[in-house]
Chain A
Amino acid sequence: MTELIERPAPEIGKARRRREDARLVTGRTRWTDNIQLPGMLHVAFLRSPMAHARILRVDVSAARELPGVVAAFTGADLGPEQGSLPCAWPVSEDVVIPAHPPVAVEEVRYVGEAVACVVATDRYRAADALEAIEVDYEPLDPVLDMEAALAPGSPGVRAGQSNKAFTWVFSQGEVDAAFAGAPVLIERTYVQQRLIPSAMEPRAVVCDRLGEDYTLHSATQIPHILRVMLALTTGIPEHRLRVIAPDVGGGFGSKLQVTAEEVVCLLLAKRLNRPVKWTESRSEGNLTVHHGRDQLQRISLAAESDGRIRGLKVDLLADMGAYLMLVTPGVPLLGAFMFPGIYKMAAYDFRCTGVFTTKMPTDAYRGAGRPEATFAIERVMDELAHELGIDPLEVRRRNWIEREEFPYTSVAGLVYDSGDYGAATDRATELLGYAALRAEQAERRARRDPVQLGIGISTYTEMCGLAPSRVLGSLAYGAGGWEHASVRMLPTGKVEVVTGSSPHGQGHETAWSQIVADTLGVPFEDVTVLHGDTAISPRGLDTYGSRSLTVGGIALLQACGRVREKAKSVAAHLLEADPGDVDFENGLFRVRGTDAVRSIQEIALAVFTAHNLPDGFEPRLDADATFDPENFSFPHGTHLCAVEVDTETGMSRIRSYVAVDDVGNVVNPLIVEGQVHGGIAQGIGQALFEEARYDEEGNLLTSTLADYLIPSAADLPDFVTERTQTPATSNPLGVKGVGEAGTIASTPAVVNAIVDALRPYGVHDVRMPCTPERVWRALEESR
């Protein structure tokens, strides 16, 4: 007789504290750099001090003689075996994908590019050996400015070749007609500065070889993709290569990459038949972890005199850096569809030119293309409001898609499935005290207070949950967008989940356990989640683009459903009932209208013993599922920010920040809030503090955390966050992605606030980051 347990509270929607924390708060972590293997050697890379140069000679012979040095290799020594680092997103017919040897052979094209490597018995001796390597360079002209790079006669990043990497265009509607005779025309140019993602854990790789089998640990977001790409790049067969992402300390896109160091460590383990480790230093990472953003945006908007948008044109230059890395050229494309934002318009024209420069390649950084697009449209909406003399909230209201208009096909061709922009905006204005702040702003303006108040608005949406495979294929992306999960019940009724998502701080172990607990009716504590190891989790497409829950979480849900159906057939068999008469609730199978009950744990044991199973039933209670959604997910929300600007010094201080986001249904509100907080902080970082700067010779001036300023607790305000909840219609949980939303939303909110504060002085733009000096100069120029 089964004991009836009390109906547990549904796990989904509960602010479960994270199970990951136990190892993280006690220091019992598994960072890649923690790994010590017997006989392990340490790798260090010699890096180019020149932005652009021909390599005349690399001599590692003296380094090889030093005590503790096991080997040293130049790019030529590694030879064709090192292959070319992959670009998996050939966006257009005309895209140029240059050869990209992990260790440069003939030419270096950015400061930090590897020119040789050493392998020594410990990291100190490896670092010493670098200084014994001699390199002769013949300097070549650096190429640093995108517009200059495209001008005729510009030096080439590759001699005799254009610096144009690709062009990509999109057009919808009658754009010329929309602009011809438009009562209002706004034309602006915005600079999306180059950013350094700055995950707190520097990259690290440990690679071991046993016979013909390789195990590569890496601080990566993408163990599965990495395995495929390393196999294709090095020729080491995929089935001989196991990739493990242990605890990974943040990524934000920066660990969505196939890096030179991963390829080289694999080759070194192969050549030396010893385990090797490489751990980067922060200053090495600032030079050589792919950078983000770096676009020049020319945006034109045509509108009616009442503020309704007629059309939008965007002409983008996107700095690729010196090479195309994993998804480098695809990043601006992810933005291409988001420039229209939440607004209705009939015509849209987008053109993007990818440009090579002698800088570190750019690639995905939190939001990847969408923050750039959202910034431009949200800035321009404020300009439109100013031009018309109406409140910037009102101009947005006049243009946004109304709740009852969903699903709505945007001018860029996306089908926004659901949303309620009005509800989020109403709540945000209430939380901020919008009207009172406007009154205070008027007072400060009237009394010419040296400290002016600005209110910034950002009403955003974004496309995330990267998937669907078909759409990605139509954009020439090199992989699919599905995700995989498997679920197995153990004999004692516990559950093992294997997920193809690869967390690096998000909290999958907790959220996935909540989903399983509800769908299988087992206690949260009875679930374990396995991930990040291609031997344990052979199928997956990893974690980026806010895709884990909306794709991987749904795969998990479906796998659980299949387990439940299998269990039901066993339950029906044991209860001698028709499966159609068996109901499942809270982990119990019950024959309708009777007291006959079996728990799912009892079924698990019955399947294990296999004494009495339905004919043909294999004695295993497990299932796999792969989910490929039909659409992206479209979170949205309204972020409002009040900034005080000291007009004497130019210093901006965020006084209050309110975010009302709609990410659909929520599995764990605590995790969602954390994602929003962190996202806002990174977006504020772009608005106020961060910029990767190169000098006129192509040297990175911001190679340490003393120069590349990321905000500390003392530099940020508290955040007021709430949610509205409009379920997604593209997945059965009704969930939308949340990982990037905060970053996408916050940057324009902050800059709009600063500009709003400065309007009375005739300042209508400040280039990011809005440093005190830039604000002061903007004021000076308009005085």
Chain B
Amino acid sequence: MPVSLPPRARLALGAGRAAAAASRLLRRGRGQVVGGRVMLKVDPALITRLAAGKQLTLVSATNGKSTTTRMIAGALRTKGRVAHNLTGANMGPGVVTALAADRAAGFGAIEVDEAHLPAMAAQTGATQLVLMNLTRDQLDRGSEVKMLSRRWHAMAEQLSDKTIILANADDPLVVWAARPAPSVVWVGCGQWWTDDAALCPECGATLERAADGTGIAPWRCPACGLARPQTAWSITPDATGIVTPDGTTLTPHLKLPGRVNVGNAAIAVAAAAGRGIDPAVALAACEQVEDVDGRYINTTVDGHPVRLLLGKNPASWAEMLRIVGTSGAALVTVLNARGQDGRDPSWIWDVPFEQLAPMPVWVSGERRFDLAVRLDTAGLELRGVTEDPLAGLAGLPAGEAVDIVANYTAFQELRARVVK
């Protein structure tokens, strides 16, 4: 049963729903953010009120937070109703909308923006925090990864033992941030992108890493001793299995591609186990996740099987390279640099596109010339440079499969066009 609410909170819910409906009517969007903003304006304490009595799991990371939240929600759903922000609306307004949407839900699996996690953790009193990775993303906004790590660290210092952190042992920035919390479950999710964690977050010395090519390679600081913690859960070195605390290896058969999603499933299963769900049952739920708000979705455009992939920063694009490099599909890349993308697209030079050379590629989006110079330098064969990402499809043999990798706003627009 949902907790009963004071009049102010009930008024806030009504006003928010009306605003969201108006927004949808005006085709401004799905109304989640607008509605949430109105709710918080009318009752700033609404998040805390709606969170009361729920078993909440907040999930944050630079990459993989939407996917992992979806997996956790799926696993929790085997046990009861789950409040869940479907659209990746992951700041205060999105969180309050998710909580308001299903007040009777006993569980919540909520994705939270990295910079907003400390505030959301405090307001919700969530009993599980899932912390996965911090890598460079939208640097023009000034959210340097070390600063985010420091904010998480300060948050962890304030936590009581009622809140359990599940943290990726393979990202030194996450380990250092989570360590002060009274209760941490370490999960070896894998972290293949190491360029943002060359230095020890504690003392600034250069970290030592075993260069074994796995995402779970041990790392340590030779100066202060900060090191990869002993993990309770971990992916296997080849990222095909998940090792549980009792030593059993589960083999995931995910619908989602790529090794990062095995890591996402590992921490999702660990979080679900913390809610008393059997790991095999939780994993089965993770395996059912097919697309996440259009990411990884398979659709058809003009007779071509098309898969949509999100590549929004160097670490996420680096993982996409592994997926598109072996798929055999024609590759279309799309780059924008609006506010939500980060206005500085220099980061495309941190992506090792050279791995794909001399593959043919189509280049598109508002910043296609930046991307064209990058991909030409990398030795790819540029087949077409057009603003419209779908323009190149007309020149392909009928029925040829296409992978489209786009960054944030480009992805949203494309999804709206091609996913019916």
User: Is chain B found bound to chain A in the same assembly?
Assistant: no
